[in-house]
Amino acid sequence: MRKPKKKSIRKSVRKSVKKLVKKAKLTKLGKRLKAAKKPSKPVKPAKSAAGEKHVVVLHGLIVNKYFMSGISSYLEKQGYTVHSMSYPTRAKNFETLLDDHVAPFINGVPAKKIDFVVHSMGGIMVRMYALKYGVKRIRRVVMIGTPNKGSQVADFVSDLPAFKWYLGEAGKSLGTRGDGVPARLPAVNFECGVIAGDNHWFRLARNAIVPDLPKPNDGVVSVESTKVAGMKEHAVISGDHSQMVWMPSVWKMSAAFLKNGTFTT
């Protein structure tokens, strides 16, 4: 009896291996096609641990999230998970900024309840978010120098061509006139504390440029303009519009309100 040649054995083995590989590939392909027909499940944000505190920090006009780094670091030391973002304040109008940038960011925070610490225009963004998306997830909000009734400085500079370009569409809408965004917003229906400033280091030049800015003010926003119907508490400190977010006293006041609902530490 003849023994099978080595070449024939090898050829037979190769054919068997090819068949097995082809079968495996077809099986995988079938599973993939079957899976592709099934509708994909929506991705849910990760749930936060029990007791975990989340705060969204929003900057104002022209600057970015690094402008709020001081207060963000302080809140982190107080045990908060800080969510800070930059958004192109000069590039788009308020509605587009909200829908394309701010709202998706807030909606992505993995928590049922969220606190907010916001400066200037950031407060208007939160009010717009509450109006359009509801207040179910908003716990407490601290507004720092927010022009809730508009700013006379925005009224003045928005009429100047150079500043129209510099402020952008949203910046031009921060005035006190009836067509401005602040004038179109309703009273707040969430727990809100407002911090206003009544001092500005560049007093003489400011008064000469914008003489109609009511006193007291922080150089950009009057104390009266920071007030909003429905707010829980209002505090006035000696600080200017930009300086306030870098003042440790403001950091402590903000943390106190988030914790206890009052600025009293």
Residue 114: Cβ-neighbour burial (10 angstroms; 0-12, 13-18, 19+) = buried
Assigned domain for 28 exists: no
Q: Which residue has the tokens 């929003």?
A: 58
Task: Find the domain containing 234 and state its range.
Answer: 53-259
Assigned domain for 254 exists: yes
- Please list the residues that pair with 56 across neighbouring strands: 83, 116
Assigned domain for 43 exists: no
Assigned domain for 15 exists: no
Number of domains in the chain: 1
The domain that holds 251 is classified in CATH as 3.40.50.1820
Whether 59 and 65 have beta carbons less than 8 Å apart is answered as yes
Assigned domain for 77 exists: yes
What confidence score (pLDDT) does residue 213 get? 81
**pLDDT of the chain, 265 residues: tens digit per residue:** 555 555 565 566 566 546 654 555 445 444 443 443 343 333 344 455 556 899 999 999 999 999 999 999 999 999 999 999 999 999 999 999 999 999 999 999 999 999 999 999 999 999 999 999 999 999 999 999 999 999 988 887 777 776 666 777 888 889 898 889 999 999 999 999 999 999 866 554 455 566 678 889 998 999 999 999 999 999 999 999 999 999 999 999 999 999 999 998 7
Residue 207: Cβ-neighbour burial (10 angstroms; 0-12, 13-18, 19+) = middle
Assigned domain for 32 exists: no
Assigned domain for 2 exists: no
| Residues with Cβ within 8 Å of residue 66, at least 6 apart in sequence | 86
What confidence score (pLDDT) does residue 37 get? 38
* Number of other CB atoms surrounding residue 73 within 10 Å: 11
With 0.75 as the threshold, say if the pTM is over it. Answer: yes
What confidence score (pLDDT) does residue 86 get? 97
What confidence score (pLDDT) does residue 223 get? 96
Assigned domain for 44 exists: no
**Residue ranges with strand state E in 49-178:** 53-58, 80-84, 114-119, 138-144
Which two structure tokens, joined as six digits, stand for 20?
A: 């097995």
